[in-house]
Structure 1
Amino acid sequence: MSTSSPKNLRIALLLADTPNPYVLAEEGTYLDVFRAHLLDSLANMGRKDDVDLEITGFDIVGKQEFPEDRGFEKGGFDAVMITGSAHCSYDDVKNPWIPKTLAFIRKIASEYPHVRIIGTCFGMQLLVRAYGGEVVKNPLGWEIGTYEMNLTPIGSKLLSSSSSSSTTPSSTISIQQMHADYAPALPSEGEWELLARTEKTEVQGLVSFYGEAEGEGEEKGKVHILGWEGHPEFTQSIVDKIIRFRSDSGVFTPSMASEATERAARAHDGRGRIGAMMLKVMLGEL
């Protein structure tokens, strides 16, 4: 255990959805889900006492509320996280709050470059759109439950750097999934690197590093923006409840639900190497 004072990590969590009633009743809000994910990941890193985690949620859908600019000055928020959502990430007419969110992402990245930005699933899709990329319906259909992703060399390097147990690069990693939309390619604006892919989804993870003109000197070469198409914050319990709700609603057929339930029970790295990577990025260590 560290004898020094805990390091503060202040996160602005953009809440893009409310959990369905099955999830809400037992798992809480997505603020609760993300807090539990990060605390569990810190514990698995052996660093729960080393980091003072403070997460503030902002309802960007119903209230269309965003953090004030002053909250991102030095000593304020260290990171912005964008949650997943059942909303369509490319339907701006039905979801008029999306263009505001895209503009917010660009603003924080350019005006407050010391702030790290992380998006999961819907959140990653908004990162893609904010930088000129496209998100569409995946012609190969849904990915539900745990899927093994094939890592690129950069993805393997970053995730091996996040592991406290091994620095041996790995070629694959597993994550819980819940999406039918996807980004067929990396964003067209800025410098982006692919982290991982699956047979159904080419862009399973992406990253943008700090360049010469961004951030402080010590940030050069570190991760500025990170996205995962999967849900590192989801547990089997959460995925099972989403499957049950969408089955009851007629969204998932019995055969889809059966395969998804089997996949959801498989081991995944959401609270392991992926959670550690996300935390190290937000702490400015990666």
Structure 2
Amino acid sequence: MVVRDLPKVRMLVLETDSTPKETQQDKGQYGEVLHHHFSQAGLNHDPPLGVETDRRFVVKGFHAILMTGSCYDAHGDNPWIIELMNLLREIWINNPECKLSGVCFGHQLLCRLFGSSVATEPSGKWELGHSKIDLTPVGQKLFDVPETPYVYMHQMHQDQVTSAPTPESSGGLLSKDTKVYVWGSSPHTAVQGIFIENRVFTTQAHLAFDEDMVYREIQVRVDGGSLKDFEHADRAKATAHLEHDGDVAAAAILRFFHGEDSKAIEEAKGK
């Protein structure tokens, strides 16, 4: 997937699950959905950027790695999750120029890598569909919404990061002077995403979901038995058509991939 004749951001997508059957038929797998979403963000960037994505494991030559959402628990000990954690640790140590991002499961697993606890929401509640996320000053700068201290994005999770990682929790992966910023929160989940300058930008919310995907992802969880609050599921489906800020989030992460995040941090510090 290559856009020619434009400066490029090269991104490796680590797919940790498959899209529902209907989504595969009309949009493809998560890597293809994200490629389309970020390509549009690249065209809207000033000046325009090409976005090249690959789903093979080739780290060398890539600016960034983006890890997708998944129906699996990021706090689980499945062998493939442990192997993925080991892979991310190796990439972090041996490829410091490669930036890491994660969506939902990807966000949770990266936070776990740095020592955060990931657990099911204590009362078992889900955060579903069109949801408001309150932004910190750093979040406002990263998302480039100086007049609006919030964004709306689609959510699809019960598990959450219970606290942001710290240098002390990271087992030596983060240096003592590393600043970990939480860029947003909601009543359900206090850590909606983290940001480490030039290294990490995660989001609990699904920036690339549209109305059809929200419907299907909810139904998969209802059919599978993990989502039992049918009234909540129906309310979330009813909000799926509402306008959301997934394009704003994609633009923010693309700017991070392109090396434009330091300015946002300096501006936030001066606020």
Instruction: Normalising by structure 2, report the TM-score.
Output: 0.85
- Percent identity, please: 29
Aligned partner of 1:86 among 71, 84, 89:
71
Cα distance, 1:33 vs structure 2: 0.8
Partners of 2:120 and 2:159 within 8 A in 1: yes
Task: Work out the CA distance in 2 between the residues paired with 1:145 and 1:45.
Answer: 27
Partner of 1:204: 192
Question: What are the equivalent positions in structure 2 for 1:81-230 lying under 5 Å apart?
Answer: 81-92=66-77, 95-140=78-123, 141-160=125-144, 168-187=146-165, 188-189=169-170, 190=174, 191=178, 192-209=180-197, 223-230=198-205
Which ranges in structure 1 are unaligned for 5 or more consecutive residues?
Answer: 59-65, 161-166, 210-222
Partner of 1:259: 235
Task: Work out the CA distance in 2 between the residues paired with 1:195 and 1:32.
Answer: 27
Task: Work out the CA distance in 2 between the residues paired with 1:243 and 1:278.
Answer: 25
Question: What are the equivalent positions in structure 2 for 1:1-40 lying under 5 Å apart?
Answer: 5-40=5-40
Partner of 1:213: none
Aligned partner of 1:55 among 53, 64, 73:
53
Task: Work out the CA distance in 2 between the residues paired with 1:254 and 1:44.
Answer: 38
Partners of 2:156 and 2:218 within 8 A in 1: no
Task: Work out the CA distance in 2 between the residues paired with 1:243 and 1:22.
Answer: 13
1:56-82 deviations in whole A, cap 9, x for unaligned? 114xxxxxxx43xxx42xxx1110110
Task: Work out the CA distance in 2 between the residues paired with 1:142 and 1:173.
Answer: 19
Question: What are the equivalent positions in structure 2 for 1:240-255 lying under 5 Å apart?
Answer: 240-252=215-227, 253-255=229-231
Task: Mark the CA change 1:91 to 1:109 in structure 2 (over 3 Å): closer, same or farther.
Answer: same
Cα distance, 1:247 vs structure 2: 3.1
Partners of 1:144 and 1:263 within 8 A in 2: no
**Alignment root-mean-square deviation, CA:** 1.9
**Which amino acid is the alignment partner of residue 62 of structure 2?**
F
3-state DSSP class of the match of 1:264? coil
Cα distance, 1:250 vs structure 2: 4.0
Which ranges in structure 2 are unaligned for 5 or more consecutive residues?
Answer: 262-271
Partners of 1:23 and 1:242 within 8 A in 2: no
Task: Mark the CA change 1:245 to 1:98 in structure 2 (over 3 Å): closer, same or farther.
Answer: closer
Task: Work out the CA distance in 1 between the residues paired with 2:194 and 2:38.
Answer: 20
